[in-house]
């Protein structure tokens, strides 16, 4: 275990000693002791997300995240060995179904008289799969992982699949610290991908409600898919067709590659002591074997050579989303972009809100943000986005022109000192609020560490922001807010009838 | 902090046991000012910040007839319409410059104004906060803009299927009651600037207010601020007429909202119990097992985990001052609409008839009691909780009483609550989707009314 001396997480009057230690296998823990109430929050950040997926296996990271709630080889089962045998059988039946489905089109083309029998064969296999699932369910203690946490007083218990990273988090009463270690080590060392085939269906429903039937999300999916032509960030949400055909092996391969101790950052904030956290970390995670360094993502999104535009027809009111390619978290221009993001979109005095919503009254609302937008930045080149909702009777064209005019001002007029001071005041305030709750602080520490391999990046990133000058803003705005660097997605009401 | 004795070998987490949580939450100071405003306060020197919530008697239920939306517009204009000596732009600039936030809202049953600021800017921000409450400007241009934007939002009200389902549900179950009223283009069009001033005068009055404050300050500092900014505030003296409780006016059956999506958004239920009904603890525990306990509940286990029919499914016993509602919901693919709805109704009927098990009940009870610490683990949560309890007319020790009540719930009480309060035969069933895609006709579940999607 490598111990580092406590460093103050400091700014103005804010002081929390952040303790850090790393196990021999590379897993890093960050601890902040806060003894106001007997509770703590645990935040695990795994250095893999949907951007690590390969074409053909899209949806792996998200489905794996769901599987991580199914328990472990201990939790969620009365007999893992019996379950495992049935799961192996399920997988081989699925392989037969998969293979048969691939053959269907050729039978339909070349041996149509055999088609009915072939489809019956598939239906029979599916019935066998169902009965294997039913047999397996006899050994399952359903949702026991959640049950153990819930009855022990868990709050904020959830997970999120991101693009660069995946996050697992929970708050618990402080005397359950060892429970947390036991549970998390169980699912990180010896997971069990049970109830696999039904969970694929659950994930499909999630996509339907979150994307397919949501005008905002569906528009965004079009925007991102158009802006990126090479990089994995182009996939906003997994495709149904690939997700429906994922196998346990696909998930296991991803898990083995990425869920390794060197690739995991943990933050624990609350009524705990460093000594007990160290002891438990060693006991429960010390035995986790190091893995091979996963293959990095080599893809660099090529520079966009001209404007891209895409339309979504949907039964909803008009909206427009605009994306500009920008820098990754450690690029020297990134801090300037963060300032630009605040100038354009933070608060009612922000450039876009004030101009488009209040003064010109063109829009109901307008927002500016980064995608993927992990608070301190993203691993790869990403996009800066603007969403605008026109008021009734205002054309998208007028809204676009108004947005571009504001962006143009940034490259031609230096920002006044007062406005820059406002931004810097907000940065200072956010830094303090970031430590307000145990979960919030744990989240910020774990993410900073995974991103920069150094939690102090929380402070150094902020210092870089405070050093941005009006000239920097003009330069970066002029460089990136160009027609050729933008992608525009427009939501229009559904057309009726064919080509006119 | 006693270092827990670590077990020599890792045991199965299910076999780990822990002593009950022992936490003496700090008790806030409470006092009433000369002009009738109640204040709750707790110091919190962890960070150089201050937060405050003002609860004001009022809310959307007090919108005059034909003027639905007045409460929401008044609340919004408190924030955006200028206050004291500051124009709207000056208010925005002053708050944004220091990174402070003030938000003003009107829910059905309450008006709230929330404030958060760094300690160093407290005097300025508290001054703006009180100006908004006492002397809002309701600038003409901003008022016109707010009314125009509200209308534009109404024009967008059918864009998202879940917001359709929610709205139609409340309109149906609370037919004839303010809980079931939503602003329309017509009702917004009836609202004048005079109406807004009148609404503000009537409700935003010190005797109607409860202020909850916590942060990096002392009680003397707070007293000084309150004296400086609130002492001139006079009572409105206007009587607030009580609003009647909700009564069942809907016809049980299916209410269909047509939208061409590939899912069915389902929500069915009925009017529920009174907010102070002593059976509510048994009901809460029973319902945790039935549908509100996430992965622990039967609805989630069967409809989501076992069948894969939904990502979002559950039930909720919604307690409200003027009459609660009990509802179940599910978002499923269109061609499983009937399958999922039938499954949910069968589960509810089963629990109504045969109750829950002792094992389920103990898990639910542990979950509810052990997680309750997260309602009061910070000074800010404590003062806000105390303020809400007083606003709703509960005694100050209601949180402790709740825990004792949950501890005392018996299996028999849970199952009696299931029999009495799950009124599955008198439900309004709202289904949003495209009926051409459903696996069975809507008539399967009762007489069908197609809800007009016309925006008025």
Per-residue pLDDT of B6-61, as tens digits, reads: 444 579 999 999 999 889 999 999 999 999 999 999 999 999 999 999 999 999 99
Which of the residues B14, B303, B307, B313 would you substitute to probe the A interface, choosing the one with the greatest number of A C-beta atoms within 10 Å? B14
Q: Is A471:A383 a contact under the CB 8 Å cutoff?
A: no
Tokens representing A222?
A: 């079009």
Residues contacting residue A39 through CB under 8 Å, at least 6 positions apart: A171, A172, A173, A174, A270, A271, A438, B373, B374, B377
pLDDT over 50 (residue B210): yes
Which of the residues A152, A439, A496 would you substitute to probe the B interface, choosing the one with the greatest number of B C-beta atoms within 10 Å? A152
For position A422, what pLDDT does the model report?
A: 98
Chain B residues near residue A428 by CB distance under 8 angstroms: 99
Give the CATH H-level superfamily of domain A17-77+140-285. Answer: Metalloenzyme, LuxS/M16 peptidase-like (3.30.830.10)
Chain A residues near residue B366 by CB distance under 8 angstroms: 150-153
Tokens representing A168?
A: 């697992």
**Residue A65 phi, psi (nearest 5):** -60, -40
**Of the partner residues B153, B293, B311, the one whose CB lies closest to the CB of residue A206:** B311
Residue B151 banded pLDDT, cuts 50, 70, 90:
very high
For position B8, what pLDDT does the model report?
A: 44
Interface of B with A in 365-404 (CB under 8 A): 366-367, 369-374, 377-378
Interface of B with A in 294-313 (CB under 8 A): 294-296, 300-301, 304-312
For position A10, what pLDDT does the model report?
A: 56
Which of the residues A70, A348, A363, A399 would you substitute to probe the B interface, choosing the one with the greatest number of B C-beta atoms within 10 Å? A348
**Cα angle vertex B84, ends B78, B89, to 5°?**
65
Residue A372 banded pLDDT, cuts 50, 70, 90:
very high
For residue B400, whether the previous peptide bond is cis, meaning omega lies within 30 degrees of 0, is no
Interface of B with A in 89-128 (CB under 8 A): 89, 92-93, 95-100, 116, 118
Rg (Cα) of chain A, in Å, rounded?
25
DSSP one-letter string for B143-176: HHHHHHHHHHHHHTTTSSHHHHHHHHHHHHHTTT
Residues contacting residue A397 through CB under 8 Å, at least 6 positions apart: none
Rounding to the nearest 10 degrees, give the CA dihedral for residues B159, B160, B165, B170: -80
For position A496, what pLDDT does the model report?
A: 64
Chain B residues near residue A37 by CB distance under 8 angstroms: 23, 25, 373, 377-378
Rounded to the nearest angstrom, the minimum Cα separation between A204 and chain B is 8
Give the separation between CA B132 and CA B56, rounded to whole angstroms. 13
* 3-state SS string for B363-426: HHHHHHHHHHHHHCCCHHHHHHHHHHHHHCCCCCCHHHHHHHHHHHCCHHHHHHHHHHHCCHHH
Q: Is B51:B115 a contact under the CB 8 Å cutoff?
A: yes
Residues contacting residue B95 through CB under 8 Å, at least 6 positions apart: A347, B101, B102, B125, B128
Chain B residues near residue A273 by CB distance under 8 angstroms: 1, 3
Lateral strand order in the sheet of A363-371: A308-313, A486-492, A319-326, A382-390, A363-371
Query: Which residue in chain B is spatially nearest to A137 when comparing CA positions?
Result: B306
**Of the partner residues A137, A279, A422, the one whose CB lies closest to the CB of residue B96:** A422
> A146 and B307 in contact by Cβ < 8 A?
no
- The residue-averaged pLDDT of B296-310 equals 95
Which of the residues A183, A195, A208 would you substitute to probe the B interface, choosing the one with the greatest number of B C-beta atoms within 10 Å? A208
Tokens representing B194?
A: 């005079």
**Residue A99 phi, psi (nearest 5):** -65, -40
**Of the partner residues A214, A349, A389, the one whose CB lies closest to the CB of residue B96:** A349
Give the separation between CA B71 and CA B59, rounded to whole angstroms. 6
Give the separation between CA B129 and CA B50, rounded to whole angstroms. 13
> A425 and B98 in contact by Cβ < 8 A?
yes
**Of the partner residues A174, A186, A197, the one whose CB lies closest to the CB of residue B13:** A186
Q: Is B71:B109 a contact under the CB 8 Å cutoff?
A: no
Q: Is B213:B383 a contact under the CB 8 Å cutoff?
A: yes
Q: What is the CATH number of domain B253-450?
A: 3.30.830.10
> A276 and B99 in contact by Cβ < 8 A?
no
Residue A7 banded pLDDT, cuts 50, 70, 90:
low
Domain boundaries, chain A: 17-77+140-285, 81-137, 308-492
Residues contacting residue B171 through CB under 8 Å, at least 6 positions apart: B180, B181, B182
Query: Which residue in chain A is spatially nearest to B332 when comparing CA positions?
Result: A205
Name the strand (E) or helix (H) holding B254.
Answer: strand B253-258
pLDDT over 60 (residue B1): no
| Mode of pairing for the β-strands spanning B253-258 and B428-433 | parallel
Task: Using alpha carbons, select from B397, B32, B408 the residue that is nearest to residue B208.
Answer: B32
CA B396 centroid distance within chain: 20
Instruction: Name A385's bridge partners.
Output: A323, A369
Residue A309 banded pLDDT, cuts 50, 70, 90:
very high
> A436 and B49 in contact by Cβ < 8 A?
yes
Task: Using alpha carbons, select from B93, B102, B96, B106 the residue that is nearest to residue B126.
Answer: B102
Give the separation between CA A401 and CA A407, rounded to whole angstroms. 10
Domain boundaries, chain B: 29-230, 253-450
For position A40, what pLDDT does the model report?
A: 98
For position A498, what pLDDT does the model report?
A: 62
pTM: 0.95
Chain B residues near residue A153 by CB distance under 8 angstroms: 21, 366-367, 369-374
> A202 and B304 in contact by Cβ < 8 A?
yes
Tokens representing B180?
A: 């079931």
* Angle between helix B358-371 and helix B411-421 axes, rounded to 10 deg: 90
Per-residue pLDDT of B385-407, as tens digits, reads: 999 999 999 999 999 999 999 99
* Residues above pLDDT 70, as percent of chain A: 96
pLDDT over 80 (residue A107): yes
For position B10, what pLDDT does the model report?
A: 73
- The residue-averaged pLDDT of B104-125 equals 98
Rounded to the nearest angstrom, the minimum Cα separation between A78 and chain B is 11
**Of the partner residues A39, A175, A179, the one whose CB lies closest to the CB of residue B19:** A175
Residues contacting residue A241 through CB under 8 Å, at least 6 positions apart: none
Residues contacting residue A146 through CB under 8 Å, at least 6 positions apart: A69, A157, B294, B295, B296
Lateral strand order in the sheet of A39-46: A2-11, A14-22, A28-33, A264-270, A39-46, A166-173, A155-161
ipTM over 0.85: yes
Q: Does domain B29-230 have CATH number 3.30.830.10?
A: yes
Q: Is B325:B270 a contact under the CB 8 Å cutoff?
A: yes
| Burial profile B299-313: b = 16 or more Cβ within 10 angstroms, e = fewer | bbbbbbbbbbbbbbb
For position B324, what pLDDT does the model report?
A: 98
> A179 and B16 in contact by Cβ < 8 A?
yes
Please say whether the dihedral angle defined by the alpha carbons of residues B138, B140, B146 and B151, taken in this order, is positive or negative.
positive
Chain B residues near residue A185 by CB distance under 8 angstroms: 10
pLDDT over 50 (residue A20): yes
Residue A1 banded pLDDT, cuts 50, 70, 90:
confident
Per-residue pLDDT of B152-183, as tens digits, reads: 999 999 999 999 999 999 999 999 999 999 99
Rounded to the nearest angstrom, the minimum Cα separation between A240 and chain B is 13
Interface of B with A in 23-42 (CB under 8 A): 23, 25
For position A5, what pLDDT does the model report?
A: 60
- The alpha helices in B239-378, defined as continuous H runs, are 280-287, 298-299, 337-354, 358-371
Taking the Cβ of residue B332 and every Cβ of chain A, the question of whether any pair is shorter than 8 Å is answered with yes
Name the strand (E) or helix (H) holding B124.
Answer: helix B122-134
Give the separation between CA A435 and CA A14, rounded to whole angstroms. 9
Give the separation between CA A211 and CA A217, rounded to whole angstroms. 5
**Of the partner residues B307, B332, B367, the one whose CB lies closest to the CB of residue A150:** B367
Interface of B with A in 54-93 (CB under 8 A): 80, 89, 92-93
Rounded to the nearest angstrom, the minimum Cα separation between A299 and chain B is 33
Lowest-pLDDT range of A241-245, A379-383, B96-100: A241-245
Taking the Cβ of residue B453 and every Cβ of chain A, the question of whether any pair is shorter than 8 Å is answered with no
Residue A6 banded pLDDT, cuts 50, 70, 90:
low
Per-residue pLDDT of A252-289, as tens digits, reads: 999 999 999 999 999 999 999 999 999 999 999 999 99
Which of the residues A202, A211, A390 would you substitute to probe the B interface, choosing the one with the greatest number of B C-beta atoms within 10 Å? A202
For position B2, what pLDDT does the model report?
A: 34
Residue B75 banded pLDDT, cuts 50, 70, 90:
very high
Which of the residues B3, B6, B99 would you substitute to probe the A interface, choosing the one with the greatest number of A C-beta atoms within 10 Å? B99
pLDDT over 70 (residue B248): yes
- A308-492 to CATH, choices 3.40.50.300, 3.30.830.10, 3.40.1190.10, 3.40.1190.20: 3.30.830.10
Which of the residues A62, A143, A426 would you substitute to probe the B interface, choosing the one with the greatest number of B C-beta atoms within 10 Å? A143
| Burial profile B401-414: b = 16 or more Cβ within 10 angstroms, e = fewer | ebeebbeebebebb
Chain B residues near residue A437 by CB distance under 8 angstroms: 378
Residue A12 banded pLDDT, cuts 50, 70, 90:
very low
- The residue-averaged pLDDT of B344-364 equals 98
The number of C-alpha atoms within 13 Å of B306 and in the hemisphere containing its C-beta is 20
> B294 and A146 in contact by Cβ < 8 A?
yes
Residue B5, SS3 per DSSP: coil
Name the strand (E) or helix (H) holding B127.
Answer: helix B122-134
> A203 and B311 in contact by Cβ < 8 A?
yes
Query: Which residue in chain A is spatially nearest to B47 when comparing CA positions?
Result: A14
Tokens representing A367?
A: 């927002």
Residue B100 banded pLDDT, cuts 50, 70, 90:
very high
Give the separation between CA B143 and CA B147, rounded to whole angstroms. 6
Give the separation between CA A257 and CA A48, rounded to whole angstroms. 9
Rg (Cα) of chain B, in Å, rounded?
25
Chain A residues near residue B333 by CB distance under 8 angstroms: 204-205, 208
Rounded to the nearest angstrom, the minimum Cα separation between A142 and chain B is 7
Size of interface A-B (CB pairs under 8 A): 225
Burial category of B24 from C-beta neighbours within 10 Å (exposed 0-12, middle 13-18, buried 19 and up): exposed
> A208 and B263 in contact by Cβ < 8 A?
yes
- The residue-averaged pLDDT of A97-126 equals 97
Average pLDDT, chain B: 96
Per-residue pLDDT of A200-220, as tens digits, reads: 999 999 999 999 999 999 999
Task: Using alpha carbons, select from A444, A485, A451 the residue that is nearest to residue A330.
Answer: A451
Task: Using alpha carbons, select from B251, B307, B455, B284 the residue that is nearest to residue B364.
Answer: B284
For position A316, what pLDDT does the model report?
A: 95
């Amino acid at each position: 275990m490598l111990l580092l001396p406590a460093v103050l997480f400091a700014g103005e009057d804010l002081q929390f000693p952040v303790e850090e230690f790393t196990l021999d296998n590379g897993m890093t823990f960050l601890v902040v002791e806060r003894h106001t109430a007997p509770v703590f929050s645990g935040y695990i950040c795994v250095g893999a997300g949907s951007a690590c997926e390969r074409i053909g296996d899209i949806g792996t990271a998200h489905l794996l995240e769901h599987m991580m709630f199914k328990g472990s080889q201990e939790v969620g089962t009365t007999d893992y060995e019996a379950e495992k045998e049935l799961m192996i059988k399920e997988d081989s039946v699925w392989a037969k179904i998969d293979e048969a489905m691939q053959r269907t089109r050729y039978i339909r083309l070349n041996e149509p008289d055999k088609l009915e029998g072939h489809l019956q064969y598939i239906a029979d296999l599916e019935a066998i799969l169902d009965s294997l699932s039913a047999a397996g369910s006899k050994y399952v203690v359903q949702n026991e992982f959640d049950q153990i946490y819930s009855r022990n007083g868990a709050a904020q218990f959830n997970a999120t699949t991101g693009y660069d990273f995946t996050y697992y988090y929970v708050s618990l009463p402080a005397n359950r610290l060892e429970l947390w270690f036991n549970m998390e080590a169980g699912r990180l060392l010896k997971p069990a991908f049970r109830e696999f085939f039904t969970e694929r269906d659950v994930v499909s429903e999630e996509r339907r409600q979150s994307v397919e039937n949501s005008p905002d999300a569906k528009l965004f999916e079009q925007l991102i898919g158009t802006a990126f032509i090479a990089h994995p960030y182009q996939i906003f949400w997994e495709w149904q067709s690939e997700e429906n055909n994922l196998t346990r092996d696909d998930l296991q391969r991803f898990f083995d590659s990425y869920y390794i101790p060197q690739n995991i950052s943990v933050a624990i904030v609350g009524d705990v002591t460093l000594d007990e956290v160290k002891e438990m970390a060693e006991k429960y995670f010390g035995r986790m074997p190091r893995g091979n360094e996963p293959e990095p993502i080599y893809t660099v999104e090529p520079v966009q050579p001209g404007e891209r535009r895409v339309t979504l027809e949907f039964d909803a009111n008009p909206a427009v989303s605009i994306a500009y390619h920008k820098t990754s978290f450690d690029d020297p221009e990134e801090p300037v972009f963060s300032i630009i993001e605040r100038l354009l979109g933070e608060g009612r005095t922000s450039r876009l809100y004030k101009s488009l919503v209040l003064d010109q009254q063109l829009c109901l609302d307008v927002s500016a943000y980064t995608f993927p937008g992990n608070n301190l930045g993203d691993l790869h080149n990403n996009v800066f986005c603007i969403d605008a909702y026109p008021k009734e009777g205002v054309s998208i064209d007028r809204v676009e022109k108004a947005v571009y005019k504001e962006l143009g001002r940034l490259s031609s007029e230096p920002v006044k000192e007062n406005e820059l001071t406002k931004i810097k005041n907000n940065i200072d305030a956010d830094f303090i609020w970031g430590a307000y709750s145990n979960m919030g602080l744990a989240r910020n520490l774990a993410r900073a560490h995974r991103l920069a391999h150094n939690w102090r990046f929380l402070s150094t990133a902020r210092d870089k922001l405070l050093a941005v000058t009006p000239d920097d803003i003009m330069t970066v705005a002029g460089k990136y807010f160009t027609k050729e660097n933008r992608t525009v997605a427009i939501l229009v009401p559904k057309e009726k009838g064919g080509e006119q | 902090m006693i270092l827990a004795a670590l077990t020599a070998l890792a045991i199965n987490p299910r076999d780990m046991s822990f002593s009950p949580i022992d936490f003496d939450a700090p008790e806030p100071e409470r006092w009433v000012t000369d002009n009738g405003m109640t204040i709750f306060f707790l110091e919190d020197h962890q960070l150089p910040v201050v937060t405050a919530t003002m609860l004001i008697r009022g809310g959307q239920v007090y919108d005059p007839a034909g003027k639905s939306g007045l409460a929401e517009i008044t609340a919004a204009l408190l924030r955006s319409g200028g206050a004291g000596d500051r124009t709207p732009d000056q208010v925005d600039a002053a708050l944004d410059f220091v990174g402070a936030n003030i938000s003003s809202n009107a829910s059905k049953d309450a008006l709230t104004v929330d404030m958060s600021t760094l300690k160093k800017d407290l005097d300025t921000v508290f001054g703006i906060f009180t100006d908004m409450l006492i002397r809002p400007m309701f600038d003409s241009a901003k008022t016109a803009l707010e009314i125009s934007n509200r209308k534009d939002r109404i024009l967008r009200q059918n864009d998202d299927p879940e917001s359709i389902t929610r709205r139609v549900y409340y309109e149906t179950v609370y037919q004839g009651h303010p809980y079931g009223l939503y602003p329309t283009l017509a009702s917004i069009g009836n609202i004048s600037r005079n109406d807004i001033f009148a609404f503000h005068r009537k409700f935003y009055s010190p005797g109607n207010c409860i202020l909850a404050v916590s942060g990096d300050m002392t009680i003397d500092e707070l007293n000084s601020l309150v004296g400086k900014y609130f002492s001139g505030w006079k009572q409105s003296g206007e009587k607030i007429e009580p609003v009647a409780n909700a009564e069942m006016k809907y016809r049980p059956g299916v209410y269909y909202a047509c939208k061409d999506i590939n899912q069915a958004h389902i929500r069915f239920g009925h009017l529920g119990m009174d907010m102070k009904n002593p059976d509510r603890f048994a009901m809460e525990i029973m319902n945790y097992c039935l549908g509100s306990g996430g992965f622990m509940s039967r609805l989630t286990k069967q409809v989501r985990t076992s069948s894969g029919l939904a990502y979002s499914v559950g039930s909720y016993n919604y307690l409200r001052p003027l009459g609660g509602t009990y509802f179940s919901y599910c978002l499923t693919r269109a061609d499983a609409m009937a399958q999922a709805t039938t499954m949910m109704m069968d589960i509810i009927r089963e629990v109504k008839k045969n109750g829950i098990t002792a094992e389920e009940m103990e898990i639910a009870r542990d979950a509810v009691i052990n997680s309750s610490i997260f309602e009061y683990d910070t000074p800010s949560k404590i003062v806000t909780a105390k303020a809400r309890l007083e606003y709703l007319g509960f005694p100050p020790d209601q949180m402790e009483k709740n825990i004792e009540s949950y501890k005392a719930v018996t299996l028999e009480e849970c199952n009696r609550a299931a029999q009495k309060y799950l009124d599955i035969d008198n439900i309004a069933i709202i289904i949003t989707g495209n009926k051409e895609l459903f696996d069975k006709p809507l008539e399967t579940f009762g007489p069908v009314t197609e809800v007009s999607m016309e925006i008025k």
